[in-house]
Structure 1
Amino acid sequence: MMFRIGLLCLFLTGLSACVATPSGTNLMADQTTLLPASQQSLRAEAAALDARFHEAGWVAEEHGAAVQRLTGMLMFGRGNAPELSAIDIYYRDAGLAEASADQRLVRARLDLAEAASLVDELALETQGVLSDPAVTAATLTDDLAALDYAIGDARQALSLFHSVNEQNRSEGDDITSAIGQFRTAFQGLSAAADALADHRRELRGAPGS
């Protein structure tokens, strides 16, 4: 079993990709007590966002599906099983499979508000790390990996809700405004992550680093 996990980590572009996932946070559990509170908070918020986005079906795959499919392909030659589309996963997980278009738009509007709030909270945590003088370039690497994973979740969710809107909108009733608010939150998180990456470069170039 350990061989399979190691093989998957090597296959999936290295350790940072592994530790950025909620299951991967366990790999850093022994290290987080040594981190500043701001970084511990950022990583916890990123893990909570990722878990919620998967739980709610806002991302294209059920959580763990990609790794499970890859394991099957590597170990057993599987990988051709039929898959649900992103929008069908969302409808199923939200209990909307048999719902009307109006009901789907009402639920999507609520979900977009929650998703935007989670993204905004993570961006705020990122600002806290940026202003913390105790952080180091070395420890920021895992923060950036966690943010990259969260940004990927948000990007998939944005695409999903665009599809929901196109499939269910009617004259005078759509979720375009809610999507715009979520996009603004997404852009804010992306900008915060870019600023943190710039900060890591500055710390690496500082005297004595």
Structure 2
Amino acid sequence: MAKPSHTGTGKFRIIAGQWRGRKFPIADAEGLRPTTDRVRETVFNWLQPVVVDSQCLDLFAGSGSLGFEAASRGAKFVTFIEKQSAVARQLQRNIQTLGEPQLQAIEADALQWLQHTPAAPYSLIFLDPPFQQQLLMPAIELLQQPGYTEPGSYIYIEHEKGLALALPPHWQILKDKTFGQVQSTLIEVTE
């Protein structure tokens, strides 16, 4: 059973940092499921030592709640990748509202976008693809290409409860927790 889909307009709230309490609109899009406050609070407790000054990539960004939370807590740069046009436009509007040049929303298919080598490795990657669409394992394979990570990079994966992850040997699971039907896994790249 998948996490409930978001089918109406709404907002998400930043939990901590410079934009604490600020609410951002969410585009009305089928299947959009923003990471809940409870899950984000746990994830960012895990990430507290590494989020400040990080170079973040928010793949399958959706509402952007993970990337915006990271930026609020001191990430140096956040790139949001979102395929759905209306959702990507809402991300761009939210970025414009903040007026923060270190945030960038790109309308692109995440798997196609990952076929290009980045200018520099990311120290923090949020990987939260739509559930039950077989996107997670192809994304994991593409993230193993040279240039996306380096030793000490962290990858947060949000996936369906019970989904078996086939991780590369140099990806070490640091934390793993279930929230209802959602599994949260934090990984460190070791080489």
Report the TM-score when normalising by structure 1.
0.27
Query: Greater strand percent: which structure?
Result: 2
Q: Which has the larger radius of gyration?
A: 1
Query: Greater helix percent: which structure?
Result: 1
